Structure 1
């Protein structure tokens, strides 16, 4: 994931100290809801939905749509919030520590063919929603929430 400029500016002041950051996960489905968009991360090789950091003052749903366009080159509309969770702190290879609040959105594809648009990913493609690529447990849980199609967002207690 490319580090946003505002995070780099903060790091100049706080060094490797923990940063609390807000992020988005965007599950983009085709209009028939039979396929999901996934990207293969350049840094780890893992398949994921599109993820990213919310810019200061940016609306979370707008961030999800922006990240999808930046990373996979497609247009989408954020339909609803699906899941809210906090991740354990992460220590990056350079020693930086961050912890994320993740807001997961269901999005609908509006146009464009996916491709790895910004260098953060090596692949971007559609998968059948019932046969996703190998993904970690968090993303599989979120996909199950989307497939359940409940109107309310899940909040961990």
Structure 2
């Protein structure tokens, strides 16, 4: 996955030590379909995810990541879930943990394809025929689809 320049600069100072980051998950919905990407690092299908750049509004980050990763223009409409992910150790030894803001996003335009090299595929999936995903990714999608106007907060 492409690492933002600000993270690379921090890594020069802290090495592989744990780094706390802000992340977004964009659950893009079009009628009865959801946009998924196949990650190039793990091969897993997920909604679009990404890191919020310093000073960037999280909703803008969700929309930007969707365009960059899948060539889809989408509008972030609501935060359905705020969670802290489990710590992650990457293949290069870097450790991170994220506060993840799950956005329900409305499709505007575009045809999905893996636009930036972070993914090997991007496609629409019917809600009743999703590929196998981790339980947490399934929950991110569910939280966006079942959003009723009240954001879910983990306790």
Report the TM-score, using the length of structure 1 for normalisation: 0.95
Partner of 1:77: 75
The DSSP-based 3-state class of the residue aligned with 2:98 is: strand
Task: Assess, with a 3 A threshold, how the Cα gap between structure 1 residues 149 and 91 changes in structure 2: closer, same or farther.
Answer: closer
The DSSP-based 3-state class of the residue aligned with 2:92 is: coil
Count the aligned residue pairs. 155
Partner of 2:119: 121
RMSD: 0.9
Q: CA deviation at 1:37?
A: 0.3
Q: Give matches, 1:1-150, under 5 Å.
A: 1-30=1-30, 32=31, 34-150=32-148
Q: What per-residue deviation string (whole Å, max 9, x for no partner) do you get for residues 11-66 of structure 1?
A: 11111111100000000011x2x010000011111000000000000000000000
Is the 8 Å Cα contact of residues 80 and 147 (structure 2) preserved in structure 1? no
Q: What per-residue deviation string (whole Å, max 9, x for no partner) do you get for residues 93-131 of structure 1?
A: 221111111000000110010000000101100000122
Task: Assess, with a 3 A threshold, how the Cα gap between structure 1 residues 149 and 96 changes in structure 2: closer, same or farther.
Answer: closer
- For residues 71 and 85 of structure 1, the distance between their equivalents in structure 2, rounded to whole angstroms, comes to 22
> Please, which moves more after superposition, 41-50 or 125-134?
125-134
4+ residue runs over 3 A deviation = none
Q: Structure 1: which 5+ residue stretches go unaligned?
A: none
- For residues 62 and 85 of structure 2, the distance between their equivalents in structure 1, rounded to whole angstroms, comes to 18
- For residues 139 and 18 of structure 2, the distance between their equivalents in structure 1, rounded to whole angstroms, comes to 27
Report the TM-score, using the length of structure 2 for normalisation: 0.97
Q: CA deviation at 1:151?
A: 0.9
